[in-house]
Copies of this chain bind each other. A is one copy, B any other.
Amino acid sequence: MESDVSANSRLTIAAHALTWIGLYQRRGHEVATSEQIATSVNTNPVVIRRLLAKLSKAGLADSRRGAGAGWMLARDLAAITLLDVYQAIEPGPVFALHRATPDPECVVGHGIGPAMTAVYDDVEAALRRELAKTTLEDVLRDILKAA
């Protein structure tokens, strides 16, 4: 019950994909295909294309269509933070309020929503500040250092 298998792995996959493209381009290739990326990530190419579509809308990646098509970075790895990636994949809120409106006649039921919202806003801000500290260049450096 607590294993939470369904927690978002999208940030992980998106960072993986972008880092892979970045390294591939540094090795002299122009574009990377969703098939190649999917092999490294160990998933289906459509999963990669779906994610990269969002990253493309956010201005982090670009695609080329037709024959010899594929993906490339829109910015250098050093200019992409994990916060950029996080926002690109449009994450839902970390915490939710009540599913059903609590009793408005009750003092607590009436005031708990705004009170918790204020806290949750601060928490998400802290989370974003932390994600902004790391660039994909940092991630790649970590990866190469450990290899």
Contacts and interface: CB of A to CB of B under 8 A. Distances in A.
Interface in A87-138: 90-103, 106-112, 114-116, 118-119, 122-123, 126-127, 129-131, 133-134
Given A115-B146, A116-B139, A143-B115, A16 B94 contact: no
A41 interface: yes
Nearest to A101: B42
Nearest to A139: B115
Contacts of A131: 119, 123
Size bracket of the A interface: 35 or more
B130 A126 contact: yes
26 contacts: A4-B92, A4-B93, A7-B92, A7-B95, A7-B96, A8-B94, A11-B95, A12-B97, A12-B116, A16-B102, A16-B108, A19-B112, A23-B108, A40-B103, A40-B109, A41-B109, A42-B98, A42-B109, A43-B99, A94-B94, A107-B143, A111-B144, A115-B139, A116-B139, A118-B142, A126-B130
